[in-house]
Structure 1
């Protein structure tokens, strides 16, 4: 994510996100991506102190519930959980995403099991961590411009996998519009024994190989840019949590798609992104979900119909008085599906597929405190879809088939 004052091309997240380091106080740094496509909440009876009279609803979307109540209750009364931890519990569902990624790959590429993943706009790289955790053959590459979130991943997510996980996952600090210049983030752990050194025979985007092994290989790779490291051609590249909306111009969106296309395996690969829309996405809106230990708020503060730009803020409330306002704030350009398809085609993708599902009507809940999606409604591949109040979609680009 770009820092304040940098040029648009220097930031793959043009909308500045504000960071607060503690409850009730606002900061000014950028943060990783966010979304309101969240798993169904745990039900809890508690009062809502963050009430401005607007229509409240939970963003209880179809993805499976990954939030662990034990983790949510691990902080004591009055303590301040990490903003990244709250974000992962309330927004992300890596198991559900991985299930769809595997399905898309087998449907549109097939012939082998996907092994090599790249997660762009990775933030805390929770998806990449889950990817390598569930299969010892897998590797993952994460890329993000926010160094703080990457380091948080190393200390809190990847550390749970152990040395084997470190050897199969690389995190790069850099811009998705200039990925070859991204630098590998040094992994600061005593139990890190070796770096990732994978044969690039299935279509590598790297130009140089670190031939040594063990700690010597780690030292070599730790000083590498993405273009210098020997990386395998990726089977899957994904950009989730609506992160492509951080790119405001068509030129940048096509450029990003071209970089993704060139990094995919020559044996065939897929690029997958998510996008949301509907009439509710083009007006002021506040959605709410309750967890056992905190409440999560998604707030659409404005929408410009000419530029199609919007400002999204995420807030968290722990208890009745601990409020983390504007923990994440984004300035997004809300792309339409036809625009995305055109840009993917221009970037070289051979076929594009849209998987979409209708979301619950955000205006039908009245003053209800809980607003849940129907978990029986699944994403389906669609050629046509009538506009509604709210929808969510995966867009899949297929390459080298």
Structure 2
């Protein structure tokens, strides 16, 4: 349960809705009592346990660059909550490794180049996607403007000017993606190869005539006014689809996804978690060299299948960032997800399962760390257990 999703302000809205975070003295907050880690990231070591176990990844996954040196520089103050989230929750290289694996297995015939990351937040995965291959492009979509702007300043800026020409971030709702608007960037470096659709109104024609050099024009660009390459892969990770609380909205979202996948074949990949532990109150923690990450899960409503998840961060001995992120989720079952994908027009749906460590096991945090040898496996049947993660893969146009 190390991954996390995004909280909408309403059940039908997309994005990483943020509850205001703040620091407080440790004495003012009763820390979670659980001594178990949440799912660890790759190559992140506990300062207490020096454990090198990591979240399962595909066999050909490259090693993730450690950021321990950067963490060691955090003296006196906590970094951004977005940076802490990326360190403690996300594993972009592992996700990309599986995305490539799924595409080659279920579509094949070409290398996937064009990615769309829905509920992208700080778009760390999209940034890593374009960093590793100069031919790749990425589109990120999220409802939280703050996280998108943070990405431009802290993630995409590290790629260089070429990154701005191959990755675009849009601010909007996944249920109304074509109305989302391009996030203001360094327009002098932006999208030299972007084609604008001349059939979508005067705004598009004006931008084309200005040669994409006018910042006001670009700032008003919507996704519907831009003619992007059809997506090879679309993903919604960190349990983001749990932000959609109704079946109607889930099917609508899947239909939007299906409509922009390549006619040559494409895949949609989402993750979901479950198990007995997902339907009860739960507190988990994971220690990092310079901070501790806490996952707090409220009581589970079995009628609505909804719960609230809160993420906290502790830096040093005295500072606590409470409710850095809070999400209200509906926990979808795998059969529900499969039915909705098929209703939305996906031809095939595949499920890859991975058993997670037992959250009720006694012992210290090291004992909860996942075994890096435990991989996701395609499954037709899977017995219920304490905790599991799954990738659900929808395949279209093959």
Q: Are the counterparts in 1 of residues 117 and 236 from structure 2 also a CA contact under 8 Å?
A: yes
Following TM superposition, by how much is the alpha carbon of 1:267 offset from its aligned partner in structure 2, in angstroms?
Answer: 1.0
Superposed CA deviations along residues 97-126 of structure 1, whole A, max 9, x for unmatched, are 000000100111111110100000000000
TM-score under structure 1 length normalisation: 0.85
Q: How big is the shift at 1:184?
A: 0.3
> CA offsets, 1:55-114, max 9 Å, x none?
xxx9963257554101212221x2121000000000001000000000100111111110
Matches within 5 A, 1:2-401: 8-9=11-12, 11-13=13-15, 17-22=18-23, 37-39=39-41, 41-45=44-48, 61-63=55-57, 67-76=66-75, 78-188=76-186, 192-195=188-191, 197-198=193-194, 211=208, 215-216=212-213, 220-368=217-365, 371-401=368-398
Instruction: Give deviations 1:181-210, integer Å, cap 9, x for gaps.
Output: 000001047xx4232534699xxx989675
CA drift of 1:159 comes to: 0.4
Q: Distance in 1 between matches of 2:8 and 2:302?
A: 26
Mapped partners of 1:213, 1:37: distance in 2? 49
Distance 2:173 2:192 in 1: 21
Task: Give me the whole-angstrom Cα distance separating, in 1, the residues matched to 2:294 and 2:46.
Answer: 15
Going from structure 1 to structure 2, the CA distance change for 1:396 and 1:114 (only over 3 Å counts) comes to same
TM superposition shift of 1:360: 1.0
Change (3 A) 1:162 1:345: same
Cα–Cα, structure 1 residues 22 and 196, in superposed 2: closer, same or farther, change >3 Å?
farther
CA deviations on 1:10-67 (whole Å, 9 max, x unpaired) are x225x954131545699xxxxxxxxx54415412239xxxxxxxxxxx9963257554
Q: Secondary structure at the match of 1:388?
A: coil
Q: Secondary structure at the match of 1:128?
A: helix
Distance in 1 (alpha carbons) for counterparts of 2:95 and 2:223: 25
- The answer on whether the counterparts of 2:53 and 2:372 sit within 8 Å (CA) in structure 1 is no
**Structure 1 residue ranges without an equivalent (≥5):** 27-35, 47-57
Q: CA RMSD in A?
A: 2.7
* Separation (CA, whole Å) in 1 of partners of 2:8 and 2:386: 34
Deviation at 1:280, TM superposition (A): 0.8
- Assess if the C-alpha contact under 8 Å between 1:23 and 1:80 holds in 2: no
For the Cα contact (< 8 Å) 2:41–2:88, is it kept in 1?
A: yes
- Between the aligned partners of 2:376 and 2:8, the Cα distance in structure 1 is 36
1:279-301 per-residue CA deviation (whole Å, 9 max, x = no partner) reads 01111111111111001111112
CA distance 1:342–1:331, shift in 2 (3 Å): same
Q: Deviations over 1:148-201 (max 9, x none)?
A: 000000000000001000000000000000000000001047xx4232534699
SS in 2 for 1:89: helix
Runs of 5+ consecutive residues of structure 2 not aligned to the other structure: 1-5, 29-37, 58-62
Closer, same or farther: CA 233–274 of 1 in aligned 2, 3 Å:
same
Greater RCO (Cα-Cα under 8 Å, separation 6 or more): 2
**Does the 8 A contact of 1:194 with 1:218 survive in 2?**
no
Aligned residues: 371
Distance 1:131 1:349 in 2: 24
Label 1:309 to 1:129 Cα distance change in 2 as closer, same or farther (>3 A).
same
In 2 relative to 1, CA 20–381 (structure 1 residues): closer, same or farther, beyond 3 Å? same
> TM-score, normalising length from structure 2?
0.86
**CA–CA distance in structure 2, aligned partners of residues 322 and 59 of structure 1:** 27
- Relative to structure 1, is the Cα distance of residues 354 and 394 closer, same or farther in structure 2, using a 3 angstrom cutoff? same
1:130 Cα offset (Å): 0.3
**Quick one: distance in 1 between partners of 2:320 and 2:240?**
25
Is this contact kept in 2: 1:61–1:359, CA < 8 A? Answer: no
Deviates more, 1:320-329 or 1:170-179: 320-329
